[in-house]
Amino acid sequence: MNESLKQYFFRIGDSNLIIGQRLAEWCSKGPTLEEDVALTNISLDNFGQARILFSHIAELENNGKTEDDFAFRRNEREFYNALITERPNGHFGDTIARSFLFDTFQLHFYTELCKSKNEFLAGFAEKSLKEVKYHFRHTGEWIVRLGDGTEESKEKIQESINDLWDFTGDMFATDDNIDALTKEGIAPDYTLIYQKWKNTVNEVLKRATLTVPEDAYMQKGSLDGRHSEYLGHLLGDMQYLQRSYPDAKW
Amino acid sequence: MKEQELFEHKIENEIKIEPKDWMPENYRKHLQRQMSQHAHSEIIGMQPEGNWILRAPSLRAKVILLAKVQDEAGHGQYLYSAAETLGKTRDIYIEELQSGKAKYSSIFNYPTLSWADMGAVGWLVDGAAIVNQVSLQRTSYGPYARAMVKICKEESFHQRQGYEIMAHMAQGTPEQKEMAQDAMNRFWWPSIMMFGPHDGESPRSGNAMKWKIKRETNDDLRQQFVDKTIGQAELIGLTIPDPDLKWNEERGSYDFGTMDWDEFWSVVNGNGPCNKQRIEHHISAHENGSWVRKAANAYAEKHG
């Protein structure tokens, strides 16, 4: 298959896989039973989206590899997920802030991707958008509740957003490969998505009586497969059985 | 007709008791204890399986397991709601769990040590639970009976998924086979002890049978489970770790060996490998979520 498209599918699929794995860590640890289920529901959607992309790659390549080869047999440097998705869960506010910033990105990204000239991507975006609208509503409402809840919650969620801010720029990063796809009308225009993202984040944070952090240095590197130290540990857990028993079928 | 007579008349004639009906205080207490224990088991039961979600060996297995554990959270919610109709709030039931006053199924005090344990838990533990729950669909308290009908549908699905994992591993590489047999060896006896003590030694069984809260005795339910499971084990080439197991032509059932009740009571009373870990996990999640629940309440008060 077209290498540049494959790379782009990994970019989208990996972000979903990694944040899905992070959210799954919440299972049995949620602040309420209802929220436990809500966070893992989002996780299930993320895994579902990753699987659609990985199986599509497998289908196009048609060389015996499956979705699981892509999830379980690649190394850290071969993952292209946005850096924010691998940030550790921290407390509930940290997780909500991470999800909110990422869900808002996905909301606008998929809205634009629906117009892609690549039929598969457009269909994938349309289906995923339905799920992400719900994710965005859920995490956005928590931002407002925590921001406008108690003194303690306001302080906590503000700090979570401040801490994650440096990692937001990387979601909109492009390289020659993505720029070319944008020119062809396959990938959307990331400057446009950034503008829409910024507006929505400003709006929600305002409703939450929170302050929008100032843009300072933005971390980058995920498009080259350069990640934080956290990713290796996440993959260590996730890939353990497939790596330990390479001949086994599960 | 006096209240007590009306109650007995309903029990006699298989008419369900509903939340607003008069009921003897001990009937209420028995149900509060049994239903909350059932709800707690669903919630604590999320932990041993949750232990493998992050390490599931395929994406398909991961989403099936995650969805299954979510179902358990749902069953817990459903059972707490049903138990709340008896006049105690979920918060109080949870306090009782955390203080050790209320129990949960002792099986969850055993660790899950390999992926095959996900098969064993689904197949054997859920399998044993289903036998009990199917019987409880006919329990005399309406909300409990209806909860069981709903829960049984999902549980039988879980059991098939567990058996599928086990069958796959039992026919896999030598290492997988070993994991499958090892899981079988560790989970068999605790699973059949899930039905509780022998009928003669089960202190609360008498009233529960009389009031039709329980419909079948512990030993009858256990026998049903043993009889249906042995064929399934043979089919996938696993050995039941019981040298005394033998078909009894006369009874039309399997005879099986003696259960280690000292171990059972020791685990119930807190000495299992994971008792402390399970409760500490629950308390820590509860405490870590305290500021979040406060914030949600404060926001709701401000904005009605």
- Closest by CA position to A12, among listed A58, A47, A38, A50: A50
Cβ–Cβ < 8 Å for A81, A14: yes
A75: containing domain: 3-212+220-244
Task: Give the pair of three-digit tokens for residue B101.
Answer: 């006053």
Tell me whether residues B57 and A148 touch, CB distance under 8 A.
Answer: no
- Closest by CA position to A138, among listed A14, A51, A43: A43
DSSP 8-state assignment for residue B138: T
The SS3 assignment for B199 reads helix
DSSP 8-state assignment for residue B200: G
Q: Which residues of chain A make contact with B289, given a CB cutoff of 8 A?
A: 30-32, 35, 92
CA B98 to chain centre: 18
Per-residue CA distances from A128 to A47, A48, A109, A121, B187 (Å)? 11, 9, 10, 10, 40
Cβ–Cβ < 8 Å for B143, B85: yes
In angstroms, the CA A230 to CA A237 distance is: 11
CA A90 to chain centre: 17
DSSP 8-state assignment for residue B247: E
Could you read off the pLDDT of B251-300 as tens digits, one per residue?
999 999 999 999 999 999 999 999 999 999 999 999 999 999 999 999 99
Could you read off the pLDDT of A238-250 as tens digits, one per residue?
999 999 999 999 8
By percentage, how much of chain A surpasses pLDDT 70?
100
Nearest CB to B291; choose among A35, A43, A152: A152
Tell me whether residues B291 and A247 touch, CB distance under 8 A.
Answer: no
Could you read off the pLDDT of B52-66 as tens digits, one per residue?
999 999 999 999 999
Q: What is the mean pLDDT of chain B?
A: 96
Cβ–Cβ < 8 Å for A181, A173: no
* pTM, 2 dp: 0.96
The yes/no answer to whether this complex scores an ipTM above 0.95 is yes
CB atoms within 10 A of CB B71: 18
Residue B207 pLDDT > 90: no
pLDDT band at B18 (very low <50, low <70, confident <90, very high): very high
Interface test with A, best of B164, B292, B301 (most A CBs within 10 A): B292
Residue A216 CB burial class (10 angstroms; 0-12, 13-18, ≥19): exposed
Q: Which residues of chain B make contact with A238, given a CB cutoff of 8 A?
A: 54-55
Residue B202 pLDDT > 90: no
pLDDT band at B206 (very low <50, low <70, confident <90, very high): confident
In angstroms, the CA B290 to CA A32 distance is: 9
Question: Which of A113-117, B176-180, B266-270 is least confident?
Answer: B266-270
Task: Give the pair of three-digit tokens for residue A228.
Answer: 């934080």
The number of C-beta contacts closer than 8 angstroms across A and B is 132
Q: Is residue A65 part of a domain?
A: yes
pLDDT band at B304 (very low <50, low <70, confident <90, very high): confident
Q: Is residue A208 part of a domain?
A: yes
- Closest by CA position to A42, among listed A26, A23, A15: A23
Return the pLDDT at A123: 98
Q: Is residue A250 part of a domain?
A: no
Q: What is the mean pLDDT of chain A?
A: 97
Return the pLDDT at B201: 82
Q: Is residue A166 part of a domain?
A: yes
Q: Is residue A146 part of a domain?
A: yes
CB atoms within 10 A of CB B117: 27
Could you read off the pLDDT of A153-205 as tens digits, one per residue?
999 999 999 999 999 999 999 999 999 999 999 999 999 999 999 999 999 99
**Nearest residue on chain A to B64, alpha-carbon basis:** A44
Q: Which residues contact A200 (CB under 8 A, 6 or more apart)?
A: A104, A107, A108
Residue A42 pLDDT > 80: yes
Cβ–Cβ < 8 Å for B268, B106: yes
Give the residue-averaged pLDDT of A138-167.
98
Q: Which residues of chain B make contact with A149, given a CB cutoff of 8 A?
A: 294-296, 298-299
Q: Is residue A249 part of a domain?
A: no
Q: Which residues of chain A make contact with B176, given a CB cutoff of 8 A?
A: 245, 248
In angstroms, the CA A126 to CA A136 distance is: 15
In angstroms, the CA A200 to CA A101 distance is: 10
**Nearest residue on chain B to A69, alpha-carbon basis:** B58
Q: Is residue A125 part of a domain?
A: yes
Task: Give the pair of three-digit tokens for residue B13.
Answer: 């004639």
Could you read off the pLDDT of B101-144 as tens digits, one per residue?
999 999 999 999 999 999 999 999 999 999 999 999 999 999 99
Return the pLDDT at B204: 72
Q: Is residue A54 part of a domain?
A: yes
Cβ–Cβ < 8 Å for A238, B55: yes
Residue A131 pLDDT > 80: yes
In angstroms, the CA B156 to CA B153 distance is: 6
In angstroms, the CA B139 to CA B18 distance is: 12
- CATH for A153: 1.20.1260.10
Interface test with B, best of A27, A37, A66, A86 (most B CBs within 10 A): A27
Number of domains in chain A: 1
In angstroms, the CA A123 to CA A126 distance is: 5
Q: Which residues of chain A make contact with B56, given a CB cutoff of 8 A?
A: 241
